[in-house]
Amino acid sequence: MVKIWQSSPNQERIKFEKSRLILELQSSLDTFHRKIKIRDSLEQIAIVLTSPVFAYYAYSIPFILTKIASVLIIIFGIFVFIRLRNVRKSKPGSFTGTYLEYLYKSKDYLEKQKSLLDNILYWYIFPAMALLFLFILGPGITGRLLKIMKFGAGNVVLGIIIYFLNKNAVKKQFIPRLRKIDEVIRVMESQ
């Protein structure tokens, strides 16, 4: 097979290389889209399941700080839901234009998803940590300092884990795909 490829004219080798790049990229993008869909679905399910729980807490728990935190957590969940949905709207659909247009739309979508993860500390982790800490402070500190400190430490550890998992995903999943898209765009535009 290699000898056939090496003995073929240069133009045929370029066409073969181009189609190989396109197939590799398409397979990689399909896998990526499935992973993003699963991530978003899990996040949205968690929001749908926890919102009624925090609505119940806002209604039933007598501590005003806990009530405020519960309502803010529900609002935060809605914000996350909308933010994920808005980014998903930029996902390229079936090929309506040229393949090059699809590549540019895919690149834009990946960059928006990457931006979500690059900035996760500010729009997701810090607000969630602050709201959960506010929630736990509702009944007050008296006699609960050790419990609050453990909760705070666990909250920080969880935030750090989420942060580094997302940074790792950017490095291992987003950047290689963006490079591959740039490579395929360069090949397509050189034709």
Contact between 134 and 72 (Cβ < 8 Å):
yes
**Which of 16-20, 93-97, 147-151, 180-184: highest mean pLDDT?**
147-151
**Residue 4 scores a pLDDT above 70:** no
- pTM exceeds 0.85: no
Instruction: Band the pLDDT of 132: cuts 50, 70, 90.
Output: very high
Where are the alpha helices (H) located in 119-144, listed in sequence order?
120, 126-137
**Residue 6 scores a pLDDT above 70:** no
Contact between 43 and 84 (Cβ < 8 Å):
yes
Among residues 98, 97, 100, which one has the least CA distance to residue 186?
100
pLDDT in tens, 136-184: 999 888 888 999 999 999 999 999 999 999 999 999 999 999 998 998 8
Instruction: Band the pLDDT of 56: cuts 50, 70, 90.
Output: very high
Stretch 52-79: mean pLDDT, rounded? 96
Residue % of the chain over a pLDDT of 90? 64
Q: Please write down the HEC assignment for all residues of 9-76.
A: CHHHHHHHHHHHHHHHHHHHHHHHHHHHHHHHHHHHHHHHHHHHHHHHHHHHCCCHHHHHHHHHHHHH
Contact between 117 and 172 (Cβ < 8 Å):
no
Contact between 138 and 69 (Cβ < 8 Å):
yes
pLDDT of res. 93: 76
Residues with Cβ within 8 Å of 108's Cβ and at least 6 positions away in sequence, in order, are 90
Q: Which pair of structure tokens corresponds to residue 57?
A: 């807490």
Contact between 138 and 63 (Cβ < 8 Å):
yes
Where b means 16+ CB within 10 Å and e means fewer, 12-22 reads eeeeeeeeebe
Instruction: Band the pLDDT of 5: cuts 50, 70, 90.
Output: very low
Residue with more model confidence, 98 or 120 = 120
pLDDT, the chain, mean: 87
Burial category of 123 from C-beta neighbours within 10 Å (exposed 0-12, middle 13-18, buried 19 and up): middle
Residue with more model confidence, 5 or 77 = 77
Residue ranges of domains in the chain: 14-189
